[in-house]
Amino acid sequence: MKKDKTIKRDFYLLVVKVFLSTILSSAVTYLCLIYFIFMFAENNTIKPTDYFVKYLDVIEKKIEESAPDILNGELINLDQYSEKIEGEVLDINGNHLYGDQDVAGYKVKVGEVINREIVKGSYVYRFIPIKHDNAIQAVYVLKAPFGFIINNQDRLGIVFIYVVLLISPLIFFVIYLIFYTSKLYKSLFNNIKVLLQAADKISNGDFDFKISGLKRKEFMRIQDSFNTMIDALKEMIESISKIDDERKIMVSSIAHDIRTPLTVIQGQMDLINDLKDIEKFDITPHLDIIRKNCSKMSMLTDNLSLLYKVENVDFLLNIKKVDLGKMLHEKKQEILTMAHYQRSVQILFDVCLSKQYYLLDEAMLMRVLDNILYNSLRFTKSGKIKLEVHDESDGHSSKIYFKCSDTGTGFKEKDTSQLFKAFYQDVQYKDHVGLGLYISKKIVNNFDGQIQAYNNENGGATVEFYIKEQSIICYQLSEKSSF
C-alpha cells in the first residue's frame, strides 16, 4: 500500500470498485439469464416472453381466410390455440360486434391501430383488419399474454429464479458495498485500535513506546503527532518528577539550614542567660555569633526569594551607575568583620580598575560576590581568601573580571560544572540547599558573562567569572523607566 494513500482516495476507490464489480457481475448474470431462457424454451420447459405471438401469427392468417364468415358472426375458436388468448370484433367506429367484451380495454380509434401490434402492460394487442369487397369492414382485436412472469406463473420456481436474476444488479450492489466497506472498515479500525491501545498505555503512565505501522496519510500524521506528544509527556513527567525530588531535597535542606543557626542562636541565648551574672562577663562574642547566624538565615531566605526571580524569562537587570571600587571596599570590610574570629584566615582584595563608575546592577553583582565569598569563608579554616578584580575594554564595552581563590578544602567533585545546578549538594556539605552558585550563574549569564569553578593545584578552590558592563542605551532606558 502506498504511504501517501489517503482515506478520501480509499472512499473514491470503494465507489469505483462497487460499481465496476456490480456492472461486471450483472453482465455475466444477464448472459446466463439469456442462455437459461433460450435453453429451456427449446424444450418447452419455460415459455419465453413472446411465446403466444406465434399463435397470433397463425390466427391472423386464419382471420384473413375466414373474413366473410367472421362478418356473419362465425368467430374463430381461439381456445384451440390457447385459453389465454382473447378476441373481439369491432366495427370501423370501434364499437363491439362479436366475441369477448372490452378486449382492447379502451375506445379504439380503428384508423390508428389497424395492422399494428401494441404491447400494453403484460399483454400484446394485435389489430387485424377484416376486408370484404376490397374494403375494411371491421377489426379483429387479439389479446395474448406478453411477459416471462405471466407466461410462467404456473411455474413458481422458474419465476423466482427469473426475478432474482432480473434484480441481480441491486443484489450485487448491496453485496459488494457490504464487502468492500467491511474491508475498508477493518483496515481503518486496525489503525484506530493501535491508537486506542496507545491511549490506554498513556493513561496507565507508560510512555516507553512508539506508535508505528499505521497506514494512510491522515493516520500517519496522527501517528507522528502522537509520538511527539508521547515524547513531550515523557519529558514533562520526568521534569515534574525531577522538580518534585528537588523540592523534597530543598524542603529538607531548608529545614536543616534554618534549624542549624536557630540551634546556635538558642545555645548562645541560653549561655548568655547562664553567664550574665558573672562579673566581667563579655557578651560581645556571643552577640557576634548570633549576628552571624542571623545573617546565614537572612541569606538563605534571600536566595529563595531570588531563585524565582532569576528563573523568570523576563528577568531584567536594574542598571545604574555604580562606584565599583567603593562597593568592593565595603564588601571587604563586611567579610573582615565576619572573619573576625577566624584569625588564621587572611582576607585580601586586589582591585585594579580603569575607571570609577560602571553601568551595573549593584544588587545582583553583590549577590554573586556574597555567594562566592561566603562559600570560601565557610570552607577555609586557615590560610587566605583572595579576590582579584580588573577590567578590560574593547572599545565598545568593558568586561570586568572577578577571581576568588582560597586555601580551603576545595571541591570534592571532578566535574565542577555540577556545582552550578539548582539544589546541588556537595559531598562535603550534604545538608546545604545548593542555590548560591546556581543563582550566581543565572545572574552572570544575564550580564552576558560566564562563570567557572575549579580546584587549585596547591589546594583550595577558585571561582572566577566576568561580566559585561551594560551599554549606555540600556542605562538611559532604565533611567527613563524609573520615572
Residue 319 CA to residue 474 CA, distance in Å, equals 7
pLDDT score of 379: 86
pLDDT score of 71: 85
Strand (E) or helix (H) holding 468: strand 461-468
Vertex 341: Cα angle to 279 and 347 (nearest 5): 155
Scanning the structure block, which residue is given the C-alpha cell 579576590?
387
Average pLDDT for 431-456? 81
pLDDT score of 314: 53
Residue 261 in this model has a pLDDT that exceeds 70: yes
pLDDT score of 142: 92
pLDDT score of 447: 86
Return the higher-pLDDT residue of 216 and 127. Answer: 127
State how far Cα 259 lies from the chain centre: 50
pLDDT score of 223: 84
Q: Return mean pLDDT, the chain.
A: 81
Residue 321 CA to residue 439 CA, distance in Å, equals 23
Alpha helices in 205-283 (DSSP H): 217-275
User: Is pTM, for the whole model, over 0.85?
Assistant: no
pLDDT score of 479: 41
State how far Cα 436 lies from the chain centre: 41
Residue 386 CA to residue 344 CA, distance in Å, equals 14
Q: What percent of the chain has pLDDT over 90?
A: 18
| Residue 206 CB neighbours (<10 A) | 12
pLDDT score of 431: 45
pLDDT score of 474: 45
Return the higher-pLDDT residue of 137 and 246. Answer: 137
pLDDT score of 404: 96
Residue 368 CA to residue 400 CA, distance in Å, equals 13
pLDDT score of 424: 61
pLDDT score of 50: 84
Residue 469 in this model has a pLDDT that exceeds 90: no
pLDDT score of 323: 93
Q: What is the pLDDT of residues 383-396, one digit of tens each?
A: 899 999 999 987 66
**Residue 331 buriedness (CB in 10 A; 0-12 / 13-18 / 19+):** middle
Residue 17 CA to residue 133 CA, distance in Å, equals 67
Scanning the structure block, which residue is given the C-alpha cell 528563573?
311
Q: What percent of the chain has pLDDT over 70?
A: 84
Average pLDDT for 242-269? 71
pLDDT score of 150: 84
Closest C-alpha among 342, 355, 331 to residue 404: 331
Residue 29 CA to residue 174 CA, distance in Å, equals 15
Q: What is the pLDDT of residues 287-319, one digit of tens each?
A: 877 877 787 677 667 666 666 566 665 565 678
Residue 217 in this model has a pLDDT that exceeds 70: yes
pLDDT score of 23: 93
Q: What is the pLDDT of residues 13-37, one digit of tens each?
A: 889 999 999 999 989 988 887 887 7
Closest C-alpha among 364, 371, 386, 363 to residue 460: 386
Residue 58 CA to residue 55 CA, distance in Å, equals 5
Average pLDDT for 254-274? 75
348 and 384 Cβ atoms separated by less than 8 Å: yes
81-85, 155-159, 369-373, 375-379: least confident range: 155-159
Read off the pLDDT band of 471 (50, 70, 90). low
Residue 117 CA to residue 110 CA, distance in Å, equals 13
pLDDT score of 461: 92
Residue 408 CA to residue 133 CA, distance in Å, equals 151
Read off the pLDDT band of 422 (50, 70, 90). low
Residue 1 in this model has a pLDDT that exceeds 50: no
> Which region holds residue 202: left if phi is over 0, alpha if psi is between -120 and 50, else beta?
alpha
Strand (E) or helix (H) holding 450: strand 450-455
453 and 462 Cβ atoms separated by less than 8 Å: yes
pLDDT score of 386: 94
Which three cell numbers, joined as nine digits, stand for 362?
549593584
Average pLDDT for 434-452? 85
Strand (E) or helix (H) holding 113: helix 110-113
Residue 417 in this model has a pLDDT that exceeds 90: no
